[in-house]
């Protein structure tokens, strides 16, 4: 009959061709995510250089399938050549302000895959809690988690996350933020944090990691030795944001150290002193690192392959920061306009969409240093009861 729908030809097979599979490896910053999708009468072909591109292509393919009123599944003839603009497309989850059960993280990874995100930035510990079960320092989570049995990530949990992510072409970059944001580390690591002083006496309150003790650097070395093995990605996020100097300033031993080192009253120099040693430790473990922008802003000496994470948002100042970071030759990641935890009424997705990461003054070489960005879902007001509808 003449009026038969033109999709009478059933397509039963999608051929997937990958020139260099590497299915057993982990995705990285240089992974090839490009793919070609050819849908025509009688043949459907997905081809990619690497498995990671095949995954992206499968995602697209699955989104092209429609269903008509009779329940028939169909797909339009299509020719797609696709590849990402930015190689680092990330999402940050905060499991310290509120614990997120494993299923919430895995579900998030699924939805990340639907949206072709390829980095899960796991801000795993912070001031409020330390849910990461460390084999080297079990006391950290025992004393620092909200609940040592129910609100922790065991080694097995972490492995599950990493593998679940890998199968979706998603890198897992863990952040162990120091020297600030470390209150929860204190109970399980006595002597690690700086005791704050009220005049001549300790006040009983603690501040950032104590940068003047050798024990600090021994601890940090051992912890990051473990973290480097547990997390296979080349990069670790080392934090370095929002270090409050008040406690350091109150501590007489630290003041003495400042004098000794000739730092004067410039506590940024003390912060740099710590960070530089931390960076050296992490480098010697064979890892690259990402740091929050303060580390760059405070003139810490960085390795040329450091990635700077731009997060401070103050009337579009972040574009200026992007320019500064890239002009200094460092790679940059943008998060400042994408703090999705800052909810507001109405269609605020349009603000996030309108951001143009390269809209700053700079040479093409500079702009090529922008690796991508990350949407951040900080956890002060987020837990499993509202994570999904808030994020997506």
Q: What is the C-alpha to C-alpha distance for residues 269 and 289, in angstroms, rounded to an integer? A: 20
Decide if 242 is catalytic: yes
Taking the C-alpha atoms of residue 267 and residue 206, their distance in angstroms, rounded to an integer, is 17
**CA 262 to mean position of chain CA atoms:** 36
User: Interface with other proteins includes 353 (CB under 8 A)?
Assistant: no
Q: Does 343 bind other proteins (CB under 8 A)?
A: yes
CB nearer to other proteins: pick between 45 and 391: 391
Choose the catalytic residue: 13, 77, 163, 242.
242
Residue 364 found at the interface with other proteins (CB under 8 A): no
386 binding other proteins? (CB under 8 A) = yes
Q: Of residues 24, 344, 350, 364, which one binds other proteins by CB under 8 A?
A: 344
Site string for other proteins, 323-342 (x = CB under 8 A): ------------------xx
- Return the range that interacts with other proteins (CB under 8 A); candidates 34-42, 46-54, 117-125, 383-391: 383-391
DSSP 87: S
Give every CB contact of residue 121 below 8 A, 6+ residues apart in sequence: 90, 91, 92, 93, 173, 175, 237, 374, 376
Taking the C-alpha atoms of residue 392 and residue 389, their distance in angstroms, rounded to an integer, is 5
If one asks whether residue 41 binds other proteins (CB under 8 A), the answer comes out as no
Q: Does 115 bind other proteins (CB under 8 A)?
A: no
How near is the Cβ of 101 to other proteins at its closest, in Å?
13
Whether the CB-CB separation of 182 and 242 falls below 8 Å is answered with no
Residue 73 near other proteins by CB under 8 A: no
Does position 350 interact with other proteins (CB under 8 A)? The reply is: no
| Pairwise CA distance, residues 9 & 97, whole Å | 54
Q: Contact 130/188 with Cβ under 8 angstroms?
A: yes
Question: Counting contacts by CB under 8 A, is residue 385 touching other proteins?
Answer: yes
Q: In this structure, what token pair is assigned to residue 279? A: 């960076």
Structure tokens at 352: 């996030």
What residues make contact with other proteins under the rule CB under 8 A? 341-347, 381, 385-386, 388-390
Which residues are part of the catalytic machinery? Answer: 242
């Amino acid at each position: 009959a003449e009026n038969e729908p033109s999709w009478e030809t059933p397509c039963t097979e999608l051929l997937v061709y990958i020139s260099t599979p590497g299915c057993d490896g982990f995705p990285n910053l240089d992974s090839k995510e490009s793919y070609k999708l050819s849908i025509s009468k009688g043949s459907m072909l997905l081809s990619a250089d690497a498995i990671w591109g095949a995954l992206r292509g499968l995602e697209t393919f699955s989104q092209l399938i429609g269903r008509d009123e009779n329940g028939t599944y169909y797909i339009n003839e299509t020719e797609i050549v696709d590849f990402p603009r930015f190689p680092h497309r990330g999402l940050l989850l905060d499991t310290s302000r509120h614990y997120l059960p494993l299923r919430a993280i895995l579900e998030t990874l699924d939805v990340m895959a639907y949206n072709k995100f390829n980095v899960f930035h796991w801000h795993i510990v912070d001031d409020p809690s330390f849910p990461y079960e460390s084999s080297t320092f079990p006391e950290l989570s025992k004393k620092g988690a909200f609940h040592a049995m129910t609100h922790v990530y065991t080694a097995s949990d972490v492995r599950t996350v990493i593998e679940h992510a890998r199968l979706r072409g998603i890198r897992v970059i863990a952040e162990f933020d120091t020297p600030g944001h470390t209150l929860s580390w204190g109970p399980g690591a006595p002597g690690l944090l700086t005791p704050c002083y009220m005049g001549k006496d300790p006040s009983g309150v603690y501040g950032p990691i104590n940068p003047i003790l050798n024990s600090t650097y021994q601890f940090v070395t051992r912890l990051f030795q473990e973290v480097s093995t547990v997390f296979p990605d080349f990069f670790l996020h080392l934090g370095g944001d929002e270090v409050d100097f008040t406690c350091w300033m109150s501590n007489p031993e630290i003041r003495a150290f400042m004098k000794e080192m000739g730092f004067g009253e410039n506590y940024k120099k003390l912060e740099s002193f710590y960070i530089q040693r931390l960076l050296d430790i992490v480098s010697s473990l064979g890892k690259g690192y990402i740091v929050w922008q303060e580390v760059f802003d405070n003139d810490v000496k960085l390795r040329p392959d450091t990635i700077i994470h731009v997060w401070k948002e103050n009337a579009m100042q972040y574009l200026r920061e992007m320019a500064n970071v890239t002009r200094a030759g460092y790679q940059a990641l943008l998060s400042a306009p994408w703090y999705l935890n800052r909810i507001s009424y109405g269609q605020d997705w349009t603000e996030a969409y309108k951001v143009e990461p390269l809209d700053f003054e700079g040479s093409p070489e500079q702009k090529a240093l922008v690796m991508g960005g990350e949407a951040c879902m900080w956890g002060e007001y987020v837990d499993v009861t509202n994570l999904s509808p808030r994020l997506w």
